[in-house]
Amino acid sequence: EAKDRVDPTLAAVPAARAGHPALQIEQIGGASTNKAVQAVIGDDLQKAGALSLPVTMIILLLTFGTLVAAGLPLLIGITSVIAALGVVAIPSGWLPIDGNLAAVILLIGLAVGVDYSLFYLRREREERAAGRSEGAALEAAAATSGRAVLISGATVIVAMAGMLISGDKAFISFAEGTIAVVAIAMFASLTVLPAMLSWLGDRVEKGRIPLLGRRRPAGRSRFWTAVTARVMRRPALALVLAGGLLVALAVPALQLKSVTSDIHQLPQDLPVIRTYNDVRAVFPTEGVIAQVVVEADDVRSGAVAAGIGRLRAAVARSDRFLPGSEVEVARDGTVAKVTVPTKGTGTDAASSGALDELRGEIIPATVGRVDGATVNVSGDAAMSRDSASQLNSRLPLIFAFVFGLAFLLMLVTFRSIVIPIKAIVLNLLSVGAAYGVLVLVFQQGRGEALLGFTANGGVANWLPLFLFVVLFGLSMDYHVFILSRVRELHDRGMPSDLAVQEGISTTAGTVTSAAAVMVGVFSVFVTLSFLDFKELGLGLAAAVLIDATVVRGVLLPASMKLLGDWNWYLPRWLQWLPQVGPEHVVVPPPAPGEPPPAEPQPAPVPA
């Protein structure tokens, strides 16, 4: 019914403009703004899809050197996204679905779908390069990387589930979509991908790219071998320098301010935005409005009416408000709405100061003193403040849920009480650094000219929590994958320090490729026009880049070196824990007549 009324109104404006070419006729309002928002989001999603796929394919071609091998992870990622969109569409009639959900599913689904299949495929190719048959290589990959993918996916799902207890419909919607796409990507990587590899056999090496196809399909990274060796020679210095860098990046996050996504998130050159700015310039009272809602048995009665009059007089005397307050009374006389024009944009310091004065001083001294009257304040500033307060009240519960379940999952996986504590600390450093980058670029406006946006004094209010749960989960991907290899080598009898160096150097190529895919996909969102998408893309890209380099390349080996065998400490009273991690799986022996696979040899330590 609303659409039937709105669409003819929107269509009337172009018709009037065509009939009166001498006049400038524009439109502004909820319907036209919503139409512009949906158009921008739709265009951005098309652009993201068009750019993400070739970027991902190029990175995979550089990784594998063959078209078929590179196409498999991309196929898993694309089909995971499509399947997840279909899954969330089923309950969309009765469950909340946020307008940004499709973008979130594309962003997360493509990244984890490619990552999980990349982990599996690289291990299978590594086993083949070591001399195993097709079947034995698949079994070895399933017993090692397959288990790591299962644990990584479970950790990501646990982190995403934290949004379900936020009490916010948008976050519940994000949780539904991200849990669905991660679960589907994990399932596809553990079932569909092995089946495809078994069917393809050696044909997975088809379509070799000249020069690229000559690269080793698997093995240790010379660069990260050298870095890890140097870090482990002076672990304390490396820990202080790298940790200090991340703390310095995280310091601006202490000033993080969240703002409600509104018309200011749209590109400023849109016709609807230009019209909005023109209207505000000519009619300032049509700008940001605070709505004071008064409820009483009879708002027209002397006491309530007098209180409303005193409120309007107090507003007129204050320099935080604009002239032109108005009163509307409901037909039954039980509700009055006082519209109060305020200075500011609705999310800046001026709007916040006006809200503080209105709630803290003016209302209590005027209509708020009237017996039987209930007074509330709405509007952009109030909505931004109240939604942030409501979310902040749930944060301790969300953090406890995510940290607690992630700790238990890592504890059972690695049978160590130190590993999960260290993983949580390292992940928090990555998240804190990403927050700091967001504040510097978007809140303080350091990247306006480069990224093409106008700073609105804060970060989208839904972003900090969403980034926390997503980054916490994604960071665990690399942590689980690397430590699974380290523990595997350690359990084979390799000394702890050597297992760390070898585990990191042999997984570094896979982690680098996976991180490159994620950073590539996330960076595409930085090029989009919707400010929320820019913030989301930069936050995720910065965090993954930091996590895959500074954290996993420096802080992880440094801390592992300093702690030594204490890394694997498990109190006696926890020895009953089951052994479920990939490090406890015995890799299948070669088939009769098959040459034994090459054992991993320690990498030479650079001088």
**What is the structure's pLDDT at 211?**
66
- The answer to whether position 408 is within a domain reads no
| H/E stretch holding 378 | strand 374-379
- Alpha helix stretches (DSSP H) within 332-462: 349-357, 363-365, 380-414, 418-438, 448-451
Same domain, 424 and 561: yes
Q: Classify strands 459-460 and 258-259 as parallel, antiparallel or unpaired.
A: parallel
CB atoms within 10 A of CB 396: 9
Number of folded domains that form the chain: 2
- The answer to whether position 97 is within a domain reads yes
Task: Measure the CA–CA gap between 25 and 221, rounded to whole angstroms.
Answer: 63
Q: Which of 93-97, 104-108, 110-114, 284-288 has the lowest mean pLDDT?
A: 284-288
Q: 182, 158 in Cβ contact below 8 A?
A: no
Same domain, 153 and 282: no
- The answer to whether position 23 is within a domain reads no
Look-up: residue for tokens 């799902």? 157
- The answer to whether position 394 is within a domain reads no
Same domain, 545 and 461: yes
Same domain, 292 and 420: no
pTM, whole model, 2 decimals? 0.80
- The answer to whether position 264 is within a domain reads no
Main-chain phi, psi angles of 408, to 5 degrees? -65, -40
- The answer to whether position 435 is within a domain reads yes
Task: Measure the CA–CA gap between 510 and 221, rounded to whole angstroms.
Answer: 9
Range of the domain at 172: 30-219+415-576
Same domain, 303 and 371: yes
Residue bearing the bigger pLDDT, 69 or 33: 69
What is the distance, to the nearest Å, from the Cα of residue 549 to the centroid of all Cα atoms in its chain?
19
Same domain, 421 and 347: no
**In sequence order, which residues have a C-beta less than 8 Å from that of residue 249 and are 6 or more positions away?**
432, 433, 436, 437, 546
Same domain, 549 and 483: yes
pLDDT above 50 (res 234)? yes
The CATH number of the domain holding residue 275 is: 3.30.70.100
Same domain, 379 and 423: no
Mean pLDDT of 403-412: 89
- The answer to whether position 554 is within a domain reads yes
CA-based nearest residue to 121, from 34, 63, 180: 63
**What is the structure's pLDDT at 583?**
43
Same domain, 59 and 208: yes
pLDDT above 90 (res 439)? yes
- The answer to whether position 369 is within a domain reads yes
Same domain, 175 and 294: no
pLDDT above 50 (res 586)? no
**Mean pLDDT, the chain, as a whole number?**
83
Q: Which of 230-244, 291-305, 306-320, 476-490 has the lowest mean pLDDT?
A: 476-490
Q: 341, 323 in Cβ contact below 8 A?
A: yes
Same domain, 206 and 147: yes
Q: 197, 118 in Cβ contact below 8 A?
A: no
Same domain, 105 and 203: yes
Provide the CB-side half-sphere exposure for 288 (13 A, CA): 24
